[in-house]
Chains A and B, each alone.
Chain A
Amino acid sequence: MTFVNWLKRRLVVIAGLLTLAYLLLPNIVVTVFSFNQPKGRFNYEWQEFSTEAWQDPCGVSGLCGSLTLSLRIALWATLGATLLGTMIAFALVRYRFRARGAVNSLIFLPMAMPEVVMAASLLTLFLNMGARLGFWTILIAHIMFCLSFVVVAVKARVMSMDPRLEQAAQDLYAGPFQTFVRVTLPIAAPGIAAGALLAFALSFDDFIITNFNAGSTVTFPMFVWGSAQRGTPVQINVIGTAMFVIAVVLVLVAMAVGNRRDRRKAQKTHRSPL
């Protein structure tokens, strides 16, 4: 009876942790299999422990090239989408203009559309225009589908910003440009950063739209896809594991730094006489 009660009270926690395990299981498998030495071309079955792949992560032809390309595309796409998206977000929150509804739906629709539809229709456009598929078509596509997500992230932040702050800046002799640079932008920065981060992640990991519009250019996800058909080198797992570890470590460090700063501030506040 007490056990049933105990279980009942912790049902949510147990179910939640099981879901968490479900989410993390593949990452554990990826990590473990980065130390595998497979017999055939595919790295799906455990054979024996080896650190060979870790010593030579670029050992597979084309792998690191595709990784660099993906990073390059993601950086440019982030830059483009963040710039354009931030401008739209500001216009949406801070100004009144005609056709606001139409603008809102144009921004919402790309998020409410399956990627394959956007990918296919963009390809028809490129084919009709006779564009050569490659770096530029991928970049164009990535900026397109990242844009809306940046708008949403920045908009949320700008909307929660007190308009009186900008009025205060104007009252204190800052012209429109100064107001924007000295007050609006710094305060909106966390939202812009969140949008940029999201855009980077979306672009870097995109497969479906890239698959349609890349031509013979190979990004990292395209490389993985190709190897799923031809044979998966262990190096893929090495890259996947490394990215996971780097991301977690970066976040933990950022959090620790933030915590330390907060605590230091708190102490200071505490010490000074009110």
Chain B
Amino acid sequence: MTTVAEAPPRAPAPETEPPRKRGRWTPYLLLVPGLLWLLVFFALPVIYQASTSVQTGSLEEGYEVTWHFATYWDALSEYWPQFVRSVLYAASATVLCLLLGYPLAYLIAFRAGRWRNLIMILVIAPFFTSFLIRTLAWKTILADGGPVVGALDTLHVLDVTAWLGWTVGDRVLATPLAVVCGLTYNFLPFMILPLYTSLERIDPRLHEAANDLYARPSTTFRKVTFPLSMPGVVSGTLLTFIPATGDYVNADLLGSTDTRMVGNVIQSQFLRILDYPTAAALSFILMAAILFMVMFYIRRSGTEDLV
């Protein structure tokens, strides 16, 4: 039916009957409400934010657009460590998610048998407990002198991580390690689900074919399974990296002032210090940086259909 709209108009109209215009306006009627919503409450705010970022003034006297681009420079020079930290933490969490999530996704797709549904439920079910409550639980798990930290200390793992700068002294809480651990935990399902979806689509006979053609299990994985799961890897890493970069909950609850990420800065500038231009500039830089990285990544990985 979709072709109807494209068909050229009927040649000399033979009868009085007008040519049918089936559904010429329907798509627009369907689109308008939702798109208007997105335009007004998503696109327009981005423009407002851009305008706010080049305003000067104060809360009392009001703000005015003065094209004060120096705000960007000031914001960057003051908060670049937080930017770098955000990208580093998010990237580490993404890599960890991939390393931890892949075996589980593989397990569900190929090895779980009749346990498949149960494991799927267990992966999704934690979602139903507020993520803030679950993140707070990590405070208990990683508590100073608790069993986890004690074990890591006895095994001298903490010495290594302290030497790398991931932990401080014999603490895990309030260190970069705790924040990355929290980020990894929070976004792990977003890695596992796309991975599972793309692994599940792989015909198991391909494994048999690869084995039949003299590929050892490890070769089969490298040459067949992993390449075929690339769409899942790409969307999983994006779904992990993007929200992790902007997150401030984990850095706030599990970190310290030394682990503040750019999200924390934006949040406090906006909601506590009320320096709107700086906050807007920071947020705009973050947006631009993420879009740039995502575009580059998509180009490189050659996948266009992410959604």
Contact = CB atoms under 8 A, between A and B. Distances in A.
A180 to B, nearest CB: 10
Contacts of A97: 27-28, 31
Interface residues on B, range: 35 or more
A20 B44 contact: no
Given A33-B137, A44-B140, A205-B131, A114 B290 contact: yes
B188 A124 contact: no
B187 to A, nearest CB: 11
Given A26-B185, A91-B31, A224-B133, A108 B42 contact: no
Given A20-B122, A27-B129, A88 B249 contact: no
A76 interface: no
Interface stretch (A53-61, A185-193, A232-240, A264-272): A232-240
B250 to A, nearest CB: 11
B246 interface: yes
Contacts of B236: none
A69 interface: no
Interface residues of A, number: 88
A12 B238 CA distance: 24
Nearest to B263: A116
Secondary structure of the B contact surface, majority rule: helix
A22 B104 CA distance: 11
B249 A208 contact: yes
Given A90-B30, A107-B38, A121-B45, A228 B253 contact: yes
B107 A116 contact: no
B209 interface: no
Nearest to B241: A114
Q: Which among B22, B27, B248, B267 has the greatest number of chain A C-beta atoms within 10 A?
A: B27
B23 to A, nearest CB: 6
A224 B297 CA distance: 36
A183 to B, nearest CB: 13
Nearest to A123: B270
B43 A106 contact: yes
Nearest to B2: A96
A122 B45 contact: yes
Contact of B286 (A17, A114, A167): A114
Q: Which of B34, B52, B131, B185 has the most CB of A within 10 A?
A: B34
B151 interface: no
Given A117-B246, A120-B270, A252-B121, A19 B42 contact: no
Interface in A137-162: 140-141, 143-144, 147-148, 151-152
Interface stretch (B9-17, B69-77, B160-168, B276-284): B276-284
Nearest to A97: B27
Contacts, number: 265
B35 A140 contact: no
Interface string A66-89: 000000000000000000110110
A107 B306 CA distance: 12
A122 to B, nearest CB: 5
Contacts of A147: 34, 37-38
Contact of B185 (A23, A95, A117, A243): A23
A113 B131 contact: no
Contacts of A113: 242, 287, 290-291
Interface string B203-246: 00000000000000000000000000000000000100011011
Contacts of A252: 121
17 contacts: A16-B107, A19-B104, A30-B133, A44-B143, A87-B34, A91-B28, A96-B27, A107-B38, A112-B294, A113-B291, A114-B263, A120-B266, A123-B270, A211-B267, A228-B136, A237-B133, A243-B129
Interface of B: 1-2, 5-6, 22-23, 26-28, 30-31, 33-35, 37-39, 41-46, 48-49, 52, 100-101, 103-108, 111, 117, 119, 121-123, 125-141, 143, 185, 188-189, 192, 238, 242-243, 245-249, 253, 263, 266-267, 270-271, 276, 279-280, 283, 286-287, 290-291, 294, 306-307
Given A15-B103, A125-B48, A225-B249, 13 more contacts: A30-B137, A44-B143, A90-B30, A91-B30, A95-B27, A96-B5, A96-B6, A112-B238, A117-B246, A163-B1, A208-B263, A239-B130, A243-B128
